[in-house]
């Protein structure tokens, strides 16, 4: 088993699963996490083989579970990096949504996309400060920079996460703790393609590279940020959007 160990949240499927597998190929031992998809997470552990290093359950909608999640993973071995991947998306009209529906979405998206990652970062960085450093990568979104109609809560949660990256990078640099983000745009996943046939052509027309991102694009950028090749970087969020948006 590698001496480098990373905890990847939301690693049972989608981008998180690809990040876990890619990091394993890069020599990391991977501590996996799931909220509900236990069967899929067990499948990932089997695929990781000797690179698997623990499987942990925690509900990202309950931020109070984040410190115990980190402590449980840490009890099974040193942790050198965290990838805050787990997230949720919801559309809602800011004006026309019902008050109860809006508040339900607000609480859920802010808990999963912002408060839980922040609490996990606090637990991790407290430990990293005592062990001589560590790295964290937060999976944000293009809409954290650009905004998106009918998704204001999601966009706001990702924008806040991006600014935690910037501020914490400055604050924690003396402790040799690197904080990063990636900001994917359209990513070609099975979930995205479901029911999207009519929109695919118009979406791809907005992408100068002529295709949507795939999960390995996100995984490769994450692996770079966790590598020694990014030793002098911190506070940056890498855009993965096919040259479709700059800021």
- What lies within 8 Å, CB to CB, of 190 at 6+ separation is none
Q: Per the structure block, which two tokens stand in for 233?
A: 């970087």
- Cite the active site residues: 154
Is residue 72 within 8 A of residue 124, CB to CB? The reply is no
Query: Are residues 136 and 84 in contact, defined by beta-carbon separation less than 8 angstroms?
Result: yes
Query: For residue 177, what are the contacts with CB-CB under 8 A and spacing of at least 6?
Result: 125, 128, 129, 133, 134, 135, 136, 168
What's the number of CA atoms in the CB half-sphere (13 Å) around residue 226? 31
Which phi and psi (to 5°) does residue 21 adopt? Answer: -65, -40
CA dihedral 164, 226, 238, 218 (to 10 degrees): -120
Q: Is 95 exposed, middle or buried (0-12, 13-18, 19+ CB in 10 A)?
A: exposed
**Residue 208 is encoded by which pair of tokens?**
């100068």
């Amino acid at each position: 088993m590698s001496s480098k160990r990373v905890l990847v949240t939301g690693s049972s499927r989608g981008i998180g699963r690809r990040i876990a597998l890619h990091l394993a190929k890069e020599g990391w031992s991977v501590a996996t996490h799931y909220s509900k998809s236990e069967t899929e997470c067990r499948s990932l552990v089997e695929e990781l083989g000797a690179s698997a290093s623990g499987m942990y359950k925690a509900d990202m909608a309950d931020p109070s579970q984040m410190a115990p999640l980190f402590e449980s993973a840490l009890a099974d071995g040193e942790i050198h990096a965290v990838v805050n991947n787990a997230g949720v998306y919801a559309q809602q009209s800011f004006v026309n949504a019902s008050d109860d529906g809006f508040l339900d979405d607000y609480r859920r998206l802010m808990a999963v996309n912002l408060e839980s990652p922040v609490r996990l970062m606090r637990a991790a960085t407290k430990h990293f400060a005592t062990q001589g450093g560590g790295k964290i990568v937060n999976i944000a979104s293009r809409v954290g920079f650009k905004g998106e109609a009918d998704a204001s809560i999601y966009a706001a949660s990702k924008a806040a996460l991006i600014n935690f990256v910037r501020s914490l990078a400055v604050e924690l640099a003396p402790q040799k703790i690197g904080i990063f983000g990636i900001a994917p745009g359209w990513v070609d996943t099975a979930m995205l393609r479901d029911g999207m046939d009519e929109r695919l052509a118009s979406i791809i027309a907005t992408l100068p590279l002529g295709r949507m991102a795939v999960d390995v694009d996100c995984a490769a950028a994450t692996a770079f940020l966790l590598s020694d090749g990014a030793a002098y970087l911190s506070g940056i969020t890498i855009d993965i959007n096919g040259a479709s948006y700059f800021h």
